[in-house]
Amino acid sequence: TFKKMRKSNNKITIMGLLANCSTDEARMLLKKYNYPNAKNRQELELLLAKMYKEAEDKKQIEKDFAEIHPHKIF
C-alpha cells in the first residue's frame, strides 16, 4: 500500500498515511467522532481530513492521530 501511495502521489499526507497504513484504527476514529464509515481508503483519507477540519478540539484529534500513526514507535 505504501508503494502504491508513492507511485500515485509524490506527496504523502498524514491523512493518507493513516488511511493506508492504519486503516482499521482510522475507521475507529471516524466512528468515535460520529463520522460515517468510508467506502475505501481514498474516502477514508478525505473523511479524516474533514473530521480534522471540522473539529472543535484539534489538539485531541492530533493526539488521536499520533496514537494510531504507523511510525509512533519509530
Mean pLDDT of the chain: 89
**What phi and psi, each to the nearest 5 degrees, are found at residue 48?**
-65, -45
- Which carries the bigger pLDDT value, residue 3 or residue 22? 22
Pairwise CA distance, residues 71 & 74, whole Å: 5
Spatial CA neighbour of 68 closest among 40, 42, 31: 31
pLDDT digits (tens, 9 = 90+) for 25-61: 999 999 999 999 999 999 999 999 999 999 999 999 9
